Structure 1
């Protein structure tokens, strides 16, 4: 694997991309653990810290770290664009022959990074997934919802999706270049990267508790991630809408036969309950199907607009030019 040449530091063998949003409490611990590990690898590296529009003391801390850590590169987005967009910004600007993405909360241990690189080089792999051996540090609700998410994704997108693999992974330069060339605007890397089909392996690790701060993935963001995952990789919801429509038609025809039979025997009774129930049922079915169709139309609309998912306000490496 050939390292990419950087005019300031020469060839870079390893890039570590860290999306960051309001992590002022976790940043000192991240730097204290990550820097010795990377310097222990004894090869040129860079850390691409992507500030996703933080509103706390994160920008100031990153500036302080940048002055004492030459390999730390700060990429600042103009606004909060979301975790996947910040990750995209980091991947697109990383220059290493291998690129590793990791979150700033230290739930994914940086100590695994040298093992990922060794496995990729030893087995000739382009992708190495960090797979959690358990989720005991997560809440019961998060464990159950994560299990449902991966179960659903493996059935919609395919069995190639590794279970319990988040955004802690190693990518080779060919994989990163392929991702950069894709036209997708809302990329869900947990599904997109396995879908590419590059040679891959796994390293299991114990997922620790967040070192500081609070989670940046509350319930509504988890729901949005699941929605983007489904609509990006499967047309099954549209087929489901068709199936529901067909089933509703069968129910409607059966109800029509029952009504005609009741009318023929003279056993009909005036009343509004059955009418209201029928109207509400078919109205709900129609709205449900229209909603699913709208999700796909919205994705087409977004693709036609071709607006970037993020805008970079500043890159400390570009200031050296």
Structure 2
């Protein structure tokens, strides 16, 4: 029987955590009763340096039922690092792991189909939103633009897929081989390969609390993904530079012809516009190159992507996890 772990990164989720735990507990028990997963399957919450009562709630849930486990990170490491911490802990403890957010926007009923596709041979099953009926026009527009921009600039992502996915044990082991400090799991997971499938679901409204991804963070997240996975922006800068150089040759020839035919006219406006346009392009180009240099700087430091302060769970699981961390 396959042991399943549900991995849920949490940051200031005290308002929704009890409801999330209740719904996931019912889902796990129904899958166990149907003979789809093992009785010792677990729900693993990862506390990403929350400043509210999130960790104390996780501890209470574990005390009430061994179904719930918890990881407490040493500080806020960011959503992607917290998610990776949970997945890397689960990879030696389970046959498959499902990652999802704590806000209940991801339809947990899709877990049934994910497990079914896993049992039929899929190593990675992506949860893909079929529509965004609950989103505002602005949210829908920016989210869809995000995926189009990512794919357009060379980051291979699954359209309308966030971090709701199932990964088999061997897919998790393969993921552990990727040593990037700058994490963008939505782009890294497709690189793992193996058999994959898709489950479509309708995204619900957030049960409680506030979104952890406002527009500012979404833009930062997009930049992180693009510069972590693709060199296409630098190639675009090269192409732009070549184009401007070719245009400058044409303008030079035109200017010389005008000069020798006696039709030279002072072009103050054109000169000013050209200086500002080219100056702006240079600054943008330097900014993009700087982003890549910054990424190289962080990668060469090889700092830990997460540091675990506490892990509460089955005694055997804790021993295995501690052994893995020491390695």
Indicate whether the TM-score tops 0.5.
Answer: yes
- The answer on 1:38 being equivalent to 2:32 is no
C-alpha contact 1:156 1:233 (8 A) present in aligned 2: no
Pick the aligned partner of 1:125 from 110, 122, 128: 122
| Corresponding residue number in structure 2 for 1:21 | 11
Pick the aligned partner of 2:110 from 91, 109, 112: 112
Paired residue secondary structure (1:181) = coil
C-alpha contact 2:58 2:69 (8 A) present in aligned 1: no
Judged with a 3 Å threshold, the aligned counterparts in structure 2 of structure 1 residues 157 and 258 are, in CA distance, closer, same or farther, namely closer
- The answer on 1:239 being equivalent to 2:235 is yes
Q: Using the alignment, how far apart are the partners of 1:258 and 1:217 within structure 2?
A: 51
| Corresponding residue number in structure 1 for 2:324 | none
C-alpha contact 2:134 2:203 (8 A) present in aligned 1: yes
C-alpha contact 1:245 1:285 (8 A) present in aligned 2: no
Pick the aligned partner of 1:181 from 177, 183, 193: 177
Q: CA deviation at 1:202?
A: 1.3
| Corresponding residue number in structure 2 for 1:49 | 45
Q: Using the alignment, how far apart are the partners of 2:161 and 2:273 within structure 1?
A: 44
C-alpha contact 2:6 2:42 (8 A) present in aligned 1: yes
| Corresponding residue number in structure 2 for 1:70 | 66
Bigger CA drift: 201-210 or 269-278?
A: 269-278
Q: Using the alignment, how far apart are the partners of 2:267 and 2:142 within structure 1?
A: 43
Paired residue secondary structure (1:76) = strand
C-alpha contact 1:85 1:310 (8 A) present in aligned 2: yes
Superposition RMSD in Å: 2.0
Q: CA deviation at 1:79?
A: 1.7
Q: Using the alignment, how far apart are the partners of 2:294 and 2:236 within structure 1?
A: 18
Pick the aligned partner of 1:83 from 79, 82, 97: 79
- The answer on 1:58 being equivalent to 2:54 is yes
Judged with a 3 Å threshold, the aligned counterparts in structure 2 of structure 1 residues 69 and 157 are, in CA distance, closer, same or farther, namely farther
| Corresponding residue number in structure 1 for 2:145 | 148
Q: Using the alignment, how far apart are the partners of 1:112 and 1:269 within structure 2?
A: 69
| Corresponding residue number in structure 2 for 1:204 | 200
Query: TM-score when scaled to structure 1?
Result: 0.90
> For each residue in 1:133-164, what CA deviation from the matched residue of structure 2 results, as whole angstroms up to 9, or x when unmatched?
11111221121122222223334447x74321
Q: CA deviation at 1:200?
A: 0.9
Paired residue secondary structure (2:207) = coil
| Corresponding residue number in structure 2 for 1:222 | 218
Q: CA deviation at 1:276?
A: 2.1
| Corresponding residue number in structure 2 for 1:136 | 133
Bigger CA drift: 95-104 or 249-258?
A: 249-258
Paired residue secondary structure (1:213) = coil
C-alpha contact 2:157 2:190 (8 A) present in aligned 1: yes
| Corresponding residue number in structure 1 for 2:325 | none
Q: CA deviation at 1:49?
A: 0.6
Query: TM-score when scaled to structure 2?
Result: 0.88
| Corresponding residue number in structure 1 for 2:96 | 98
| Corresponding residue number in structure 2 for 1:9 | none
Q: CA deviation at 1:271?
A: 6.0
Size of the aligned set, in residue pairs, is 309
- The answer on 1:260 being equivalent to 2:256 is yes
Q: Using the alignment, how far apart are the partners of 1:20 and 1:187 within structure 2?
A: 17
- Structure 1, unaligned runs of 5 or more: 4-12
